[in-house]
Structure formats: structure tokens, C-alpha cells
């Protein structure tokens, strides 16, 4: 019997809040997000989020849906979490969904191949507390009153991470999307040898959020919460996290730095924000050796990532033998992204998705879920995620339609080779 997926819409806070108030938007955007705002009642105004809230409605996903699906995805656009002119804006997920529709990769065009799970729970406070401190969680929840009064508050000392009155609830929902996909992936893997791949199209992103607080646009560590949930709820003891965001996933690294059962591997631009992720940071205590950082020189692109995958990522995964692979999929390494200096292309992201899919098939029964992290050029973000979907479907890349070779310059191959050889030496690959 297929396990049931949980579903509830308890969006409590210290003030009256409904789905309608979260999703007030223009007519054009309202059409784009109709599936996100559907089916949630506004009967929980003024309630606070707790472990003892109203009982959850159970939603079954039919066996044949999971058997036929090639892709499972959830969307959590956090439309209420927005700051004017901020790069991490509420336009990001709608831009992706719009591209999936235009490129005929949505459920409307693909039928049973592509399944969007529209009904899913917020992560529970216990789910989040497996990664973040209780004091941070409750402090953020209480801060929603100030955000409601002021409209927007800064929740990180250096200023880039903000909160609005909906941030707490929408961040719990984004973490819940990952949990739902873990549940669905496990259910699908019990039905057949080729489960669909998952993608949590969510924001705020998560990989910079440290156990004690927010950081770098990130509120809760969505992928870290999902990793702990996979271990705790489903017995998937050995979790591999691959992070190809242009910035080091310091929050994820901190959460698991001494854990021998979670292998965290990050490729990122050398010297970029937040300055962590040195090549000699390999974990500590029982977790020594299960953190691998590969800082790449500025200007690294497709050549660098193909070499990194073949010589570092794949051998690390083959040695670790994970039960599930989770991916922090940051698209800000694209050559046209405004916040960094690598030169990935749409084709690079297609290659990574295709290669990681094959790796998961070989090592852990195909169990693999991507989580949206960075990516701040809406055009390159949306086209790259769409090409990731095409890789999941084993269809040819459309990168030639989006990538102009004239935008690229020669990669620093000597420095790339040195970085890869250093990582291989440190980790005996």
C-alpha cells in the first residue's frame, strides 16, 4: 500500500494571515500561481504554529501517478517574502514556472511524466529543529510581529537577509516541500526500480542558513532539513549532498561537519561569499573526510565542471555509497548571473543534472532530489532549470537556443587542474 502524503494549511502566526493575504498580486501573476494558492482554507487566522495544531488532512498520491512520473516537483514561491530591488525576489519561482510552461515541460504538456505535488505540509518545528536551534526558530517566529508592523525587517547583521510578515510561514512551507519530496521519492522507490527525480522549486534558499540563524538570503536550511528527515523518518542513513551553487554552502557544511553519515561536497568560486569552503576544510571528529570543498578559480566553466564531476564528484559518491543524493542546485554560476564570476552555461547545468541522475541510478536506486538555491538572472535561471528538467527526462538539451558562445572567454585550465588535483590528493581519490 502506497504511503500517504500529509497535507495541511495551518499558516499560523502572531497576526491574522490567510493564503489570500499572502498571494495578493497582479492579475498576470495570479494566473501563474493559481495552483499555489488553491485548496488552502483561511480558517486558521491568528493561530500560532506549534506541534499540537489541528489534525492534518491526509492526501493520497495514486500508485499509477508515481509509477508513470519521471519528475516530481513542488513549488513554494514565497510571494510575500520580498524586498524591493533585492536579487532574491519573489519573481524567481514564477519565472521558472513560466519557462516550464513555454517550453512545454509542465504537467499540462507532459501528462503523467511530470507531476506537481500541489498539496503539502509546512515542515514541523521538530523537523526544522533537527538542523536549527530552538532559540532561532522561536525568535524568528516572534519577530513576525515586528515585521507585520514595519513591513520589512533585517534579520541578519550584515543586512542581506530580510523578513516580512509571511517569512516564517513561507520558509516552513519551503522546507516542507523538500520533506514531501523525500516521502514521495521513498514511496516511488518501493514501487519500481526507476523512481522519478525530484525538484523543490522553493525560496527563500537555504544553504547559507547556519544552525544558529539566517545568512546570505537564506532562512531555513531546506536541504539540511530534508537530509535529517530522510535519516530520521525513512532510515536513509547515508546522505550525499552535492552543492554546485557559485557560493559555498556554509550553513549545510556547518550542520553536518562532524557527521560521518552525511557527505557534503561543494564546488564554488574561490574567494566568493561567504569566504568559507577552503579546500582543507574536510570535516572534524567522526565526520573527518565527509566534507569536500572544491573552490574553483574565477572564470571556470563547462570544462571545469566536467573535470570536477569525473574526477571528484563521481569517485567520492562511488566510495561513499549513499542511500539518497540531494543537490543544492544554485544557478548563479551562470556566466550572465550578476552575483559571481564563473561562466557556466545552460549546457553545464544540463550536463550536471544528467550526470547526477545517472550517478543516483547506479548508487542509490535513483533516489535524487534537487533543491533550488541561487540564481538571480531570471532568464538564465529559468532556462537552466528548464534544461535540468529536460536532462531528467533524457531529452536533448536546448542550450544552443540560450547560450551565446561569444559571451565566454578561455577558462584558466592550469589553475582548474591544480585545484582538482589538490582535492584528489587531500581525499585520496
- Residues with catalytic function: 208
Distance of alpha carbon 153 from alpha carbon 198, whole angstroms? 33
73 within 8 A of 200, measured Cβ to Cβ: yes
Q: From 258, 372, 367, 265, select the one nearest 322 (Cα to Cα).
A: 367
How many residues are listed for the chain in this entry? 429
DSSP 254-311: HHTTT-TTEEEEEEEETT-TTS---TT----GGGTTSEEEEEE-TT-BHHHHHHHIII
Q: How many CA atoms lie within 13 A of 129 on its CB side?
A: 10
197: its cell numbers: 527525480
Q: How far apart are CA 315 and CA 363, in angstroms?
A: 11
Q: Residues 413, 300: contact at Cβ < 8 Å?
A: no
Q: Is the dihedral of CA 104, 106, 110, 114 positive or negative?
A: positive
Q: Residue 194 phi/psi, 5° resolution?
A: -125, 75
H or E element in which residue 231 lies? helix 222-234
Alpha-helical runs (H) found in 341-394 = 346-363, 378-392
CB 137 within 8 A of CB 128: yes
351: exposed, middle or buried (C-beta count within 10 Å: 0-12, 13-18, 19+)? buried
Residues β-bridged to residue 202: 76
The C-alpha cell 516530481 sits at 72
Instruction: Give the whole-angstrom CA distance, residue 200 versus residue 361.
Output: 19
Alpha helices in 7-81 (DSSP H): 19-22, 27-32, 34-37, 63-68
Residue 111: how many other CB atoms lie within 10 Å: 10
- Determine contact, residues 263/292, Cβ cutoff 8 Å: yes
Instruction: Give Dmax over CA atoms of the chain in angstroms.
Output: 61
Amino acid at each position: 500500500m502506497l504511503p500517504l502524503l500529509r497535507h495541511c494549511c495551518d499558516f499560523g502566526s502572531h497576526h491574522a494571515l490567510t493564503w489570500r493575504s499572502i498571494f495578493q498580486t497582479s492579475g498576470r501573476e495570479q494566473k501563474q500561481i493559481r495552483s499555489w494558492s488553491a485548496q488552502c482554507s483561511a480558517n486558521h487566522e491568528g493561530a500560532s504554529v506549534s506541534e499540537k495544531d489541528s489534525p492534518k488532512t491526509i492526501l493520497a498520491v495514486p500508485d499509477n501517478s508515481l509509477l508513470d512520473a519521471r519528475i516530481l516537483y513542488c513549488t513554494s514561491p514565497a510571494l510575500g517574502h520580498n524586498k524591493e530591488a533585492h536579487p532574491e525576489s519573489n519573481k524567481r519561482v514564477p519565472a521558472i514556472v513560466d519557462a516550464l510552461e513555454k517550453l512545454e515541460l509542465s504537467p499540462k504538456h507532459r501528462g503523467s511524466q511530470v507531476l506537481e505535488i500541489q498539496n503539502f505540509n509546512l515542515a514541523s518545528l521538530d523537523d526544522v529543529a533537527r538542523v536549527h536551534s530552538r532559540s532561532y526558530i522561536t525568535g524568528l517566529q516572534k519577530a513576525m510581529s515586528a515585521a507585520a508592523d514595519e513591513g520589512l525587517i533585517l534579520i541578519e547583521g550584515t543586512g542581506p537577509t530580510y523578513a516580512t510578515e509571511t517569512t516564517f510561514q513561507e520558509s516552513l512551507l519551503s522546507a516542507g516541500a523538500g520533506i514531501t519530496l523525500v516521502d514521495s521519492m521513498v514511496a516511488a522507490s518501493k514501487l519500481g526500480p526507476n523512481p522519478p527525480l525530484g525538484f523543490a522549486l522553493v525560496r527563500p534558499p537555504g544553504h547559507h542558513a547556519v544552525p544558529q540563524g539566517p545568512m546570505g538570503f537564506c532562512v531555513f536550511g531546506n536541504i539540511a532539513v530534508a537530509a535529517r528527515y530522510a535519516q530520521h523518518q525513512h532510515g536513509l542513513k547515508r546522505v550525499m549532498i552535492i552543492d554546485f551553487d557559485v557560493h559555498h554552502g556554509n550553513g549545510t557544511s556547518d550542520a553536518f561537519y562532524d557527521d560521518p553519515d552525511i557527505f557534503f561536497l561543494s564546488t564554488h568560486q574561490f574567494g566568493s561569499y561567504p569566504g568559507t569552503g577552503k579546500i582543507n576544510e574536510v570535516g572534524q571528529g567522526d565526520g573527518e573526510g565527509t566534507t569536500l570543498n572544491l573552490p574553483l578559480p574565477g572564470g571556470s566553466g563547462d570544462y571545469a565542471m566536467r573535470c570536477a564531476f569525473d574526477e571528484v564528484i563521481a569517485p567520492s559518491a562511488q566510495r561513499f555509497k549513499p542511500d539518497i543524493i540531494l543537490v543544492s542546485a544554485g544557478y548563479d554560476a551562470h556566466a550572465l548571473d550578476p552575483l559571481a564570476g564563473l561562466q557556466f552555461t545552460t549546457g553545464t547545468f544540463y550536463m550536471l543534472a544528467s550526470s547526477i541522475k545517472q550517478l543516483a541510478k547506479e548508487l542509490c536506486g535513483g533516489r535524487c532530489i534537487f533543491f533550488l538555491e541561487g540564481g538571480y538572472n531570471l532568464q538564465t535561471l529559468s532556462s537552466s532549470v528548464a534544461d535540468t528538467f529536460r536532462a531528467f527526462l533524457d531529452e536533448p538539451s536546448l542550450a544552443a537556443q540560450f547560450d551565446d558562445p561569444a559571451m565566454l572567454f578561455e577558462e584558466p585550465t592550469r589553475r582548474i587542474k591544480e585545484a582538482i588535483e589538490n582535492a584528489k590528493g587531500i581525499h585520496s581519490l
